[in-house]
Amino acid sequence: MSDPAPAPEPDVRAFVYDSCRTRGLPPSAEETASALDRRVAEIRAAFARLAEAHVLVLQPDGEILMAPPYSAVPTPFPVRGARPSAYGNCIWDALGIPAMGRGDATILGSCACCGERLDVEVAGGSVRARGGIIHFALPARKWWDNIVFT
Amino acid sequence: MLLFSSEEHVERWCRDWRFSRGATLSLEQGWRLAGAWYGADRGDASWRRPTLEEAEVLLSGLGLVGAFWSLRGER
């Protein structure tokens, strides 16, 4: 049974998502420590607890890789028009950025098979594209087995 | 979750990379899923991940039912 309690580390979580909204990507541990006037080691421990709770995904060095739907690193799913520009972790997350921000955006997408450009526009609460479908390679129960691949 | 130009390109990609074909959604379905999953403010102190039961309701409410979309069972 899942835990119905709020996700942990509310102060860190609030800063992470505020950074995503205002800068388009999650902050480093050092930036978070500086903003919250805490030690970097405490913030890294908080990041680890948030990763354990499946709120964040971390890089091998303990920095944030994903604060879903935002990516800390460039991906094939750039989201433009939403302020500021950002990267989604996958096409679902790229759609999640305007869904979370309640704004219009264009995802500069491409076909994963052939590379054909496939822009996806979100405007006025609707999605428009000249084509394109989303493929989920893994069944839902396996998504968190390897979230980077998923 | 990747974007493809067509079902044919999904099939080709799965064949080339030796993956079993998964499930496909239209962009409209994906947009509704994104809205349902990411609509809440994750920076809010009271935010929590949906429970298993809530996630199941969310998926089934979007018509995502069946073994592929099940969150239970063998992993």
- Chain A's closest residue to B36, CA to CA, is A99
Digitized pLDDT (tens) for each residue of chain A, 150 residues in all: 445 788 999 999 999 999 999 999 999 999 999 999 999 999 999 999 999 999 999 999 999 999 999 999 999 999 998 678 999 999 999 999 999 987 899 999 999 999 999 999 999 999 999 889 999 988 888 877 766 666
Q: Is the pTM of this model over 0.90?
A: yes
- Which chain A positions have a beta carbon within 8 Å of B13's beta carbon? 112-113, 135
What are the phi and psi torsion angles at A19 (to 5°)? -65, -40
CB A114 within 8 Å of CB B16: no
CA–CA gap between residue A43 and residue A39 (Å, rounded):
7
**Beta-bridge partner residues of B65:** none
Q: Three-class SS of residue A10? A: helix
Q: Does A136 sit within 8 Å of B68, measured CB to CB?
A: yes
User: Nearest C-alpha of chain A: how many angstroms from B61?
Assistant: 15
pLDDT digits (tens, 9 = 90+) for A61-89: 999 999 999 999 999 999 998 678 999 99
B24's CB contacts (< 8 A; 6+ apart) are A133, A134, A135, A136, B4, B7, B10
pLDDT digits (tens, 9 = 90+) for B14-70: 999 998 899 999 999 999 999 999 988 999 999 998 888 899 999 999 999 999 998
Q: What is residue B72's predicted lDDT score, i.e. its pLDDT?
A: 85
Question: Distances from the Cα of A130 to the Cαs of A8, A31, A48, A93, A95, in angstroms?
Answer: 41, 40, 41, 20, 16
B57's CB contacts (< 8 A; 6+ apart) are none
Q: Does A10 sit within 8 Å of B13, measured CB to CB?
A: no
Domain boundaries, chain B: 25-38+49-75
Q: Does A139 sit within 8 Å of B68, measured CB to CB?
A: yes
Q: How many CB atoms lie within 10 A of CB B18?
A: 6
